[in-house]
Every structure is written in C-alpha cells, then in structure tokens.
Amino acid sequence: MLPRRRTKRLTLEDVALSREATVAEIDGGRRVRSHLNTLGIHVGDVIRVVERAPFRGPVLVEIHGTRVALGRGIARKVKVDTDALRPGRPA
C-alpha cells in the first residue's frame, strides 16, 4: 500500500513564489466565488504564485497559462493544498 500524500493547506497569499498548489476551497460569498470563476479560478485547479508586489500589493498568479493579479484580500480567501512531501518545493 502506498503512503498517503500529506498536504498542507495555506491561503494563496502564503504560498511560496514559483510554487504550484491546488485550489481546495474559496472562503467567501457568492460574489467572491463568481469573481474568481470569471478570472478562471475554480476549486480543483492548479495555480502557481508568480510574484507578490511589495507593501501588501497584489499577488500575481498563473492559472491555465494566464497570469492574473489578485488583491491580498481575495488571495487570503483562496485556500490551497500543497504537496508537503516533494523535496525542494517549499510551501
């Protein structure tokens, strides 16, 4: 039997640069989910954090080959799972 993969759930704001993670849930009401869906961000999607602007500026992510800037407030509402067992890939 294979060992179960351990994941660590973080907010999108907390994911390390260049790290890929899977969108696990979106904390927020219908408007927040609708806004993220319009940007192409859905539960189950793989997303990569590309850049964080200084001074609490937006978080730049890549999803489905497209880069999208998210404000920090929205980035905190996106909960993601990261694979905790992959060496060299800090969360």
CATH no. for residue 79? 2.30.30.90
pLDDT (tens digit per residue) in 23-35: 999 998 999 999 9
Is the confidence at residue 7, as pLDDT, over 90? Answer: no
Q: Is the pTM of this model over 0.85?
A: no
Range of the domain at 15: 7-83
What total of structural domains would you count in the chain? 1
Confidence at residue 1, expressed as pLDDT on a 0 to 100 scale? 57
Q: Give percent of the chain with pLDDT exceeding 90.
A: 75
Residue 89 lies in a domain: no
Return the structure tokens found at 39.
């940007």
Neighbouring C-beta atoms of residue 23, cutoff 10 Å: 19
Q: Do residues 79 and 9 touch, judged by C-beta distance below 8 A? A: yes
